Amino acid sequence: MLDILRNWILAICGTALLWGVGMALAGERGRKTLGVIGGFATMAAMLSIAGDIDAWGVGVYVDRYREEAGEIAGEAQRQAAAETRFIIEERCEAYILDKAGQLGVTLRDVTVTAKWSGEGFWYPGRCTLRGVESRELSRAIEAELGIPLENQTWSTDDGR
């Protein structure tokens, strides 16, 4: 395929080069004649690719590139979903730590796990908190982030 394109470009450039040299060497009368002949020759060179292209071969290339484009788009969507999940988890963890600070609750660690909804988006579905349990913080997490109390796991450093 690339050979066909290379030959086509060379044919156009060669025709244009010969036409330009002929025009430079020709007299006033010859220029008019060469102008018409050169125009037809350049058009013939430009249209010559139509006979060299294998229509089925081009179709195979188009199908292959369409498949590859679909795979790339799918991978981009998966990557975007993973990044969105990470951002949601990270921001929810930061919110919980800030809220704990406002309420005077000491947390050693917070982990939020996002879940995929049936409607096609990530949402905070579960959290694990290390520190002394606080009902006030749990209610704030449920109200603000939508993580129900049964999906909030509290633990202390001693494994409880």
Task: Spell out the domain ranges in the chain.
Answer: 2-75, 83-155
Residue 138: C-alpha distances to residues 6, 28, 55, 100, 102 (Å): 69, 94, 66, 10, 13
* H or E element that contains 64: helix 55-103
Residue 34: C-alpha distances to residues 11, 26, 27, 48, 130 (Å): 18, 8, 10, 20, 88
Tokens of 30: 């010859």
* H or E element that contains 109: strand 107-116
Q: Does residue 159 come out as left (phi exceeding 0), alpha (psi in the -120 to 50 range) or beta?
A: left
Residues 6+ apart with CB under 8 A from 87: none
pTM above 0.85, yes or no: no
CATH architecture of 83-155: 2-Layer Sandwich (3.30)
CA 11/CA 2 separation, integer angstroms: 14
* H or E element that contains 98: helix 55-103
Amino acid at 29: R
Per-residue pLDDT in tens (0 to 9) along the chain, 160 residues: 567 777 778 888 888 877 777 777 777 767 777 777 777 777 777 776 666 555 556 567 677 878 888 888 888 888 888 888 999 999 999 999 999 999 999 999 999 999 998 888 899 999 999 998 999 999 999 999 999 999 999 998 655 5
